[in-house]
Amino acid sequence: MLWLSPFLLFFAFATCSEVLELTKDNFHSQLKSIPVCLVKFYAPWCGHCKSLAPEYKSAADIISKKTANLKLAEVDCTAHGDICSEFGVNGYPTLKIFRDGIFDSEYNGPRNADGIANYMISRAGPCLKKSVLSRTLKTASQMISHLWLHL
């Protein structure tokens, strides 16, 4: 039985997906915490969605190894139709890019893992720099305010 534990631990990590599951309860809060996020709106019965799923997961895994400021997520429109309606989804799969929780643009790039990852990393570059700069300035401002209070 002890020999099984390392195998199960490896299997658990090997099958862990880097794709965030978004629901009506966490959609807006999760996206606000991510500088750039590609969201796949899908239906489980959709053939094109089933074909895209392994490529999308692989792209998320590639991205997770390169940056923490860019994520891939997905919404099951059969379970969370209100979110899909909010963003005008009327076909599956639909991919949309969000920046700091705000819809930015439709994704019309490649539909394979390397293509998705490379496209998103190239598109996210300036935004990631802006996001880091914004956070750095906010932190610096807070430090100055704190020091000013203690003078």
State pLDDT tens for residues 41-53.
999 999 999 999 9
The residue assigned the tokens 């819809």 is 103
Q: Which of 46, 81, 109, 127 is catalytic?
A: 46
Q: Which of 16, 28, 37, 47 is catalytic?
A: 47
Closest CA to 38 of 14, 66, 18: 18
CA proximity to 93, closest of 110, 81, 75, 80 = 75
Q: Is 48 a known active-site residue?
A: yes
Identified catalytic residue from 48, 88, 115, 125: 48
* C-alpha span between 86 and 23 (Å, rounded): 13
Q: Which residues pair with 105 in a beta bridge?
A: 97
The answer to whether 23 and 41 are in contact (CB under 8 A) is no
**In 3-state terms, what secondary structure has residue 111?**
coil
Among 30-44, 47-61, 68-82, 131-145, where is mean pLDDT lowest?
A: 131-145
84 is catalytic: no
Spell out the domains of the chain, with CATH numbers in brackets: 16-149 (3.40.30.10)
Q: Give the pTM.
A: 0.74
Q: Is 77 one of the annotated active-site residues of the chain?
A: no
* 143 CB-contact burial (10 Å; exposed 0-12 / middle 13-18 / buried 19+): exposed
16 is catalytic: no
Please state, for a pLDDT cut of 90, what percent of the chain lies above it.
Answer: 67
Point out the catalytic residue in the list 16, 28, 37, 49: 49
